[in-house]
Amino acid sequence: MKLLGSTFLFAMGMVGIAQAADLRVEVKTPEGTPLAHAVVTVSGPGKATGVPANAFSMAQKNKTFIPFVMVVPVGAKVAFPNQDEIKHHVFSFSPAKRFEHELYGKGETRTVVFDKPGTVAIGCNIHDRMEAYIRVTEAPLAAVTDEKGVAMLSGITDGEHTVEIWHPYQKGDSDTPISRKVSFSGSGITTEVVEMTIGQSPRAPQQQN
């Protein structure tokens, strides 16, 4: 498995792949504003065959979850380290994963295994303004858009793939992504521009004092 920044690539259930394509996805609002924190997944030929151990972490720092949005594979274990001087009470009531870690302090960590696909909204029972989102996926390729609204995904095999884009503040069905079919052949970069309407600010909450 390859893990780089906010992008992950699982070992594909295929051998002898001589070439692979790259995908650049640009996500923006109808007004043209780049949309950060959008999750992009690519499904298609091949199959995810492994889950990394201890590769994912969502910290609590300055009364803020960092990162604001994370994408992980089904079966991933996510650490929730507390880097604040105060205690936090991390929880989720989302159907995809319900859990609760009661008060724990600086330097302490709790972990959760996310064993079902879907969206998990994370909160703190002490600090109501703290929020974050974990998107759990079965797709072998996934990434989160940066502040420029761009996500890069590499190692895509030949054939038709399903590209899905999801954002925690999207309008309409909050759990159903935008979906489109994209065909790849050989190496090179394919660019997809996606317009998404959101119901709240596209920026993550600011760190709290």
Q: Is the pLDDT of residue 13 over 80?
A: no
For residue 165, with 0-12 CB atoms within 10 Å meaning exposed, 13-18 middle and 19 or more buried, which class applies? buried
Q: Is the pLDDT of residue 21 over 60?
A: yes
Q: Which fold has domain 2-48+139-195?
A: Immunoglobulin-like (2.60.40)
pLDDT score for 16 = 40
CA distance 49 to 12: 6
- Map out the domains of the chain as residue ranges: 2-48+139-195, 56-136
Query: For 38-52, what is each residue's pLDDT tens digit?
Result: 999 999 765 554 556
The token duo for 8 is 């992950």
Q: Is the pLDDT of residue 8 over 60?
A: no
The CATH classification number of 56-136 equals 2.60.40.420
pTM of the model: 0.86
Query: For 118-155, what is each residue's pLDDT tens digit?
Result: 999 999 999 999 999 999 999 999 999 999 999 999 98
